[in-house]
Amino acid sequence: MTKHIGILTAGGDSPGLNAAIRGVGKTALGRYGMQVIGFLDGFRGLVDNRSIRLDSDSLSGILTKGGTILGTSRDKPHRMVFGGKKQDMTDVIVENYHANHLDALVCIGGGGTQKNALQLMQKGLNIITLPKTIDNDVALTDTTFGFDTALGIATDAIDRLHSTAHSHHRIIVVEIMGHRAGWLALGSGIAGGADVILIPEIPYRLETVSEAIRKRVQGGKKFSIVAVAEGALPEDQARLVNAARAAKDKATDKKNRKQAKQELSALEAANVNHTVSLSQQLETMTGLESRVTILGHLQRGGTPSAADRLLATRLGSACADLIAQEQFGIMVAARGDDAVAVPLRDVAGNKKLVPRNHPWLISARNVGTVFGDE
**DSSP character at residue 305:** P
Does 41 help bind ligand F6P (rule: CB under 6 A)?
no
Smallest distance, ligand F6P to C-beta of residue 366, A = 28
The Cα–Cα gap between 348 and 118 comes to 7
Does 133 help bind ligand F6P (rule: CB under 6 A)?
yes
The Cα–Cα gap between 317 and 95 comes to 27
373 an active-site residue?
Answer: no
| Contact residue for ligand F6P among 76, 132, 300, 314 (CB under 6 A) | 300
Smallest distance, ligand F6P to C-beta of residue 94, A = 27
- Asked whether the beta carbons of 334 and 143 are under 8 A apart, the reply is yes
Catalytic residue among 13, 75, 135, 137: 135
Terminal Cα-to-Cα distance of the chain (whole angstroms): 63
What phi and psi values does residue 79 have, to the nearest 5 degrees? -150, 70
Residue nearer to ligand F6P on the CB measure, 202 or 229:
229
Q: What angle do CA 75, 113, 104 make, to 5 degrees?
A: 105
Smallest distance, ligand F6P to C-beta of residue 150, A = 8
Does 318 help bind ligand F6P (rule: CB under 6 A)?
no
Residue 47 makes CB contacts below 8 A (sequence gap 6+) with 75, 77, 80, 82, 89, 92, 93, 96
Does 135 help bind ligand F6P (rule: CB under 6 A)?
yes
Q: Quick count: other Cβ atoms within 10 Å of Cβ 119?
A: 18
Residue number closest to ligand F6P, CB atom: 177
Smallest distance, ligand F6P to C-beta of residue 182, A = 11
- Asked whether the beta carbons of 93 and 46 are under 8 A apart, the reply is yes
**DSSP character at residue 52:** E
Does 12 help bind ligand F6P (rule: CB under 6 A)?
yes
Q: Which of residues 201-240 bind ligand F6P (CB under 6 A)?
A: 230
The Cα–Cα gap between 97 and 37 comes to 11
Residue nearer to ligand F6P on the CB measure, 75 or 135:
135
Does 179 help bind ligand F6P (rule: CB under 6 A)?
yes
Beta bridge partners of 338: 335
Residue nearer to ligand F6P on the CB measure, 44 or 170:
44
- Asked whether the beta carbons of 37 and 54 are under 8 A apart, the reply is yes
Smallest distance, ligand F6P to C-beta of residue 179, A = 4
| Contact residue for ligand F6P among 15, 38, 67, 110 (CB under 6 A) | 110
Does 274 help bind ligand F6P (rule: CB under 6 A)?
no
Residues noted as catalytic: 135
Residues lying near ligand F6P in the complex (CB under 6 A) are found at 12, 74, 110, 133-135, 177-179, 230, 300
